[in-house]
Structure 1
């Protein structure tokens, strides 16, 4: 047998031996298994504001109605893009017929188009939304945690969740009379539970002498970010 063939044969034998050892460890019976759950939570302030504005009109001529809606949305988009640090995007747009009382004849058409705004600058977006109420109506306002902020808080909470899991594992080991424990598996997961936010009806605000609605006071609120640690330990008895 050549030197290369001997080397390959030796390598194959070594791999087979390692595979057999790993399989034996995996199949090794485990006793005194305990499933544990621990978590770490933190209230995180919302740092992203979302506003939905819309144009909704009704007319007998669908072509003119579409043109009117497009003009209103385009003007609002142009105005919104002048404000720094505000992300502008178009939402849904749809039109539908309006029938007579008998539901047989189309008497008019109604069209609705949305404009969505997002920003971390609450004051700027609040004022922009108030200014745009001369052209559009308020659809809704909500707040959330930015992805980067959530990630940063989850990274910190992950350490706390693992520490809580280890503390609980040690506590249960002592309670069961064990001398130590071995970690069998551990899974980490995160979740955010947003608090209900009141809907702000800015469309009902009265305009000032210049024709602009006042910007509302903003209370962004918080969400609870939670990282959970679920796993299994094997308690080693004396």
Structure 2
């Protein structure tokens, strides 16, 4: 019985190193990290704008009533322009203090935010609204649909450039064939809106629509990964 136990123990000791080695990660040689980018200028197809009205008064209720009338009329006017989305934005009422911290009145500011792909309609609406409101900012960007389309087309180009760099690395190392260990595709995501700075315009009954140049935005797709060269 003792001899049997010794044989079993010896067999376990002999097998154990093999089990340990089986769990060790395989060593990798001639591994090269690579990145390749593909870019494209895409026409900005979306206009956004923020307009605001700001008024002062002694009674907050009167100030609010006056501001709300301007905003309500602006929303009514916006309904005449198809394809233009207008929604309420930031609104704030706060006290105004003078010398000796004396309350002098109240100030209220209310914003409207506009978004459209119809630049002509958007510009015309802005011109109309500027008779009672001021243009705080206007900008242009690429819509999500147009960005996705461009990114999908750039994926193929980014991978092709990755393979091109992989082949350059293989030749530089005098290697044979290579295989891709891993590869990830990354996009730049939504880019900041390209601003169009606006001057405060004097209020009048007839304000010319602002001239706009939408410009372009850069869309980028990156291929990142590693190759192993034989």
Pick the TM interval, shorter chain: 0.7 to 0.9
TM-score by length of 2: 0.85
Within-5 A mapping of 1:22-41: 27-41=25-39
Shift of 1:217: 1.7
Cα-to-partner distance string for 1:42-77 (whole Å, 9 max, x where unaligned)? 111100000111010000100111111111111101
1:159 has 2:156 as partner: yes
Q: Is the 8 A contact 1:47 1:220 kept in 2?
A: yes
1:234 has 2:228 as partner: yes
Shift of 1:168: 0.5
Shift of 1:156: 0.5
1:213 has 2:207 as partner: yes
1:189 has 2:189 as partner: no
Closer, same or farther: CA 38–25 of 1 in aligned 2, 3 Å: farther
Partner SS, residue 99 of structure 2: coil
Q: Is the 8 A contact 1:48 1:119 kept in 2?
A: yes
Counterparts of 1:205 and 1:111, CA distance in 2: 19
Cα-to-partner distance string for 1:88-134 (whole Å, 9 max, x where unaligned)? 111110011100122x2211100100000100000000000001111
Within-5 A mapping of 1:1-238: 27-102=25-100, 104-191=101-188, 197-201=195-199, 203-204=200-201, 211-236=205-230
Q: Is the 8 A contact 2:137 2:195 kept in 1?
A: no
Partner SS, residue 27 of structure 1: coil
Q: Is the 8 A contact 2:140 2:193 kept in 1?
A: no
Partner SS, residue 204 of structure 1: coil
Q: Is the 8 A contact 1:194 1:223 kept in 2?
A: no
Closer, same or farther: CA 113–195 of 1 in aligned 2, 3 Å: closer
Counterparts of 1:216 and 1:92, CA distance in 2: 23
Q: Is the 8 A contact 1:194 1:224 kept in 2?
A: no
Counterparts of 2:203 and 2:68, CA distance in 1: 26
Residue segments in structure 1 that go unaligned for 5+ positions in a row: 1-23
Structure 1 ranges of 4+ moved more than 3 A: 192-198
TM-score by length of 1: 0.82
How many residues align? The count is: 208
Residue segments in structure 2 that go unaligned for 5+ positions in a row: 1-21
**Higher Rg of the two aligned structures:** 2
Shift of 1:26: 9.1
Closer, same or farther: CA 77–34 of 1 in aligned 2, 3 Å: same
Partner SS, residue 197 of structure 2: coil
Counterparts of 1:84 and 1:195, CA distance in 2: 23
Shift of 1:204: 2.4
